[in-house]
Amino acid sequence: MTSHPVGSTGEGVFTALTAEHRGKLMALAREVSLPGGARIFEEGERADRFWVIRSGTVALDVHMPGRGRVVIETIGAGSLLGWSWLCPPRQWHLAAETRDPVRAWEFDAAAVHDLCAEDTALGLSLVTVVAEIIGDRLRATRTRLLDLYGPPGSGPVP
Amino acid sequence: MTLTPLSYRVVDRRDETHDTVTLVLEPAADALKPFAPGQFAMLYAFGVGEIPVSVSRLGDGRRLTHTVRAVGAVSRALCGLRIGGWVGVRGPFGTAWDTAAAHGNDLLVIAGGIGIAPLRPLVDAVLAEAKAFGRLNVLAGARTPADLLYGDEFPAWGKPFGAVTVDRPSGGWTGRVGVVTTLLREARFTPSGTVAFVCGPEVMMRATARALIHQGVRPDRIRVSLERNMRCATGHCGHCQLGPLLLCRDGPVVGYDQAEPLLTVREL
Ligand SMILES: Cc1cc2nc3c(=O)[nH]c(=O)nc-3n(C[C@H](O)[C@H](O)[C@H](O)COP(=O)(O)OP(=O)(O)OC[C@H]3O[C@@H](n4cnc5c(N)ncnc54)[C@H](O)[C@@H]3O)c2cc1C
Ligand code: FES
């Protein structure tokens, strides 16, 4: 059993992959450091990269007329940042900004796509990992829709 | 434990949020037996009714501290009490957070909303004998930044890991946004040597327990506090029944191995 945070090496997100697959994928990783308040990507831009956060926090936000940038969710160490690179239209649906200094592994999406085409078993494992993460985030979003901590009687109409 | 309420007077009160108040109560004469973290009292608002409320801090053994959220008639009446007001109190009732059984383990204290109230005495107890435990992680979720309870105490709890997250950020909130389970990735614990104490809405506790089990924490080492309506609180009326359990007596704190099959059945 590992000691947490599993993501402290940046590879934690990929622990479900075999050592060989993880090695191939991590060979494409580039270490990046970003200061607090850095805009990582903007809504509508081409999603050509993704990141595994090693330390620090990133806020996902959306611009709303009259309200400015509204933070939808924050993502911390050991988490995957970005999945829009995986499927068309490969555009970011949200924007991302660092909350504090962030260290991350950055992956070039085109290089990862090429690797997956070359090694389809790796490709399937990676898609499974990302699908599991998307499932987790969807469940979390549904839980928030329930407005669990709201006053009695609040939340969605059954 | 007494069957008739003892009179207690409000000697201090603090508005925690727009709908939540902490009351410090002192006995008029005889005091109830000391409470343990996780146990609850039946608080009687004169002329309105009686409800179960956990102790939110253990004092000198005579005074009682309760944090109450106004959701209906009785809780609203209690929140409306001023210093000098009177409350009828019975207790202590129910099972406690078992800290002795957690000695030597990493600890996860995970709260949602008002669920932080029953967990605060547990955090106090752990901090008082910190060397007896591994790493303490306190994770709390709230609806908005304005709904966070005990925000001023939180920094002292955050060693090695403490974090709060809100569902709906507002007004310059620079903390975390999202459900409390998202903080688990960053918490410091070894799953096979961890005991988790979880309190909050049932959906939140189920989601948290599932995430912990997925990470390798044993179900019986995940302690949850279950709530059902209570009347007698002494195991006689059956009001608080959940399957084979009477939660006023066998709960509110139970292991998730016991709770899980009961919580996923719709109506028992
Ligand atoms: C063991 C135990 C410990 C508790 N500890 C605390 C505590 O420390 N602080 C605190 O504020 N409350 C606590 N509660 C919950 C508290 O007892 C209820 O909020 C209270 O009974 C509501 O009574 P009321 O007359 O004010 O409202 P009611 O008129 O009975 O209810 C008003 C609304 O609140 C809802 N409601 C009632 N009870 C609950 C509940 N338990 N959870 C969620 N919604 C509910 C009802 O469905 C209704 O919509 C605890 C409950 C139990 C069983
Ligand atoms: S409240 Fe009466 S049996 Fe539990």
pLDDT of residue A1: 35
Which chain A residues touch B229 with a CB distance below 8 Å?
A: none
CB contact under 8 A, A72 and B177: yes
Domain boundaries, chain A: 12-145
List Cβ neighbours of A13 (8 Å cut-off, separation of 6 or more). A7, A52, A78, A79, A80, A129, A133
Bridge partner residues of B64 (DSSP) = B25, B58
Report residue A118: phi and psi, to 5°: -75, -40
pLDDT of residue A7: 38
Residue B251 parent element (H or E) = none
How far apart CA B135 and CA A104 sit, in angstroms, is: 25
Asked if A6 has any chain B CB less than 8 Å from its own CB, the reply is: yes
Average pLDDT, stretch B48-66? 94
How far apart CA B146 and CA B44 sit, in angstroms, is: 28
pLDDT of residue A68: 86
Q: Comparing B122 with B160, which gets the higher pLDDT? A: B122
pLDDT at B61 over 50: yes
> If pLDDT is split at 50, 70 and 90, which confidence band does B268 have?
very low
* DSSP symbol at B247: T
pLDDT of residue A66: 83
How far apart CA A56 and CA A121 sit, in angstroms, is: 32
Report residue A81: phi and psi, to 5°: -110, 110
How far apart CA B232 and CA B117 sit, in angstroms, is: 22
Q: Sign of the CA dihedral A137, A139, A144, A149? A: negative
How far apart CA A34 and CA A102 sit, in angstroms, is: 5
pLDDT of residue B160: 65
CATH number of B6-93: 2.40.30.10
Q: Comparing B161 with B101, which gets the higher pLDDT? A: B101
pLDDT of residue B2: 59
Query: What distance, in Å, lies between the first and last C-alpha atoms of chain B?
Result: 29
CA geometry: angle B83, B91, B21, nearest 5 deg: 35
How far apart CA B268 and CA B253 sit, in angstroms, is: 19
pLDDT tens for each residue of A35-65: 999 999 999 999 999 999 999 999 999 998 8
Which chain B residues touch A154 with a CB distance below 8 Å?
A: none
- Under CATH, what is the fold of the domain B100-263? Rossmann fold (3.40.50)
pLDDT tens for each residue of B25-37: 999 999 999 999 9
How far apart CA B238 and CA B229 sit, in angstroms, is: 10
pLDDT tens for each residue of A83-104: 999 999 999 999 999 999 999 9
Domain boundaries, chain B: 6-93, 100-263
pLDDT of residue A3: 40
CA distances from B59 to B24, B37, B65 (A): 9, 11, 7
CB contact under 8 A, A143 and B207: yes
pLDDT tens for each residue of A7-35: 344 457 888 899 999 999 999 999 999 99
* Interface probe, candidates A74, A94, A102, A129, chain B, greatest B C-beta count within 10 A: A74
Note which residues in 109-138 of chain A have CB less than 8 A from chain B: none
Q: What number does the ligand 1 atom closest to the CA of A152 have?
A: 49
Of the candidates A83, A119, A75, the one whose C-alpha atom is nearest the C-alpha of residue A99 is A75
CB contact under 8 A, B141 and A1: no
Q: Report CA(B116)–ligand 1 centroid distance (Å).
A: 14
pLDDT tens for each residue of B142-201: 999 999 999 888 888 876 677 888 998 887 888 899 999 999 988 999 999 999 999 999
pLDDT at A158 over 70: no
Measured in angstroms, the CA of A118 and the nearest CA of chain B are apart by 31
pLDDT of residue B200: 95
CB contact under 8 A, A57 and B176: yes
* Chain A nearest-CA residue for B161: A5
The arrangement of secondary structure in A12-145, i.e. its CATH architecture, is Sandwich (2.60)
The verdict on pTM exceeding 0.80 is: yes
Token pair for B156: 């002292």
Rounded percentage of chain B residues whose pLDDT exceeds 70: 97
pLDDT at B3 over 80: no
Radius of gyration of chain B (CA): 18
List Cβ neighbours of B105 (8 Å cut-off, separation of 6 or more). B133, B134, B193, B194, B195, B221
Measured in angstroms, the CA of A34 and the nearest CA of chain B are apart by 17
pLDDT of residue B255: 97
> If pLDDT is split at 50, 70 and 90, which confidence band does A153 have?
low
Q: Report CA(B229)–ligand 2 centroid distance (Å).
A: 8
Q: What's the 3-state SS for chain A? A: CCCCCHHHHCCHHHCCCCHHHHHHHHCCCEEEEECCCCEEECCCCECCEEEEEEECCEEEEEEECCCEEEEEEEECCCCEECCCCCCCCCECCCEEEECCCEEEEEEEHHHHHHHHHHCHHHHHHHHHHHHHHHHHHHHHHHHHHCCCCCCCCCCCCC
Residue B24 parent element (H or E) = strand B20-27
Please tell me the least confidently modeled range out of A128-137, A138-147, B162-171, B235-244.
B162-171
pLDDT tens for each residue of B74-98: 999 999 999 999 999 999 999 999 9
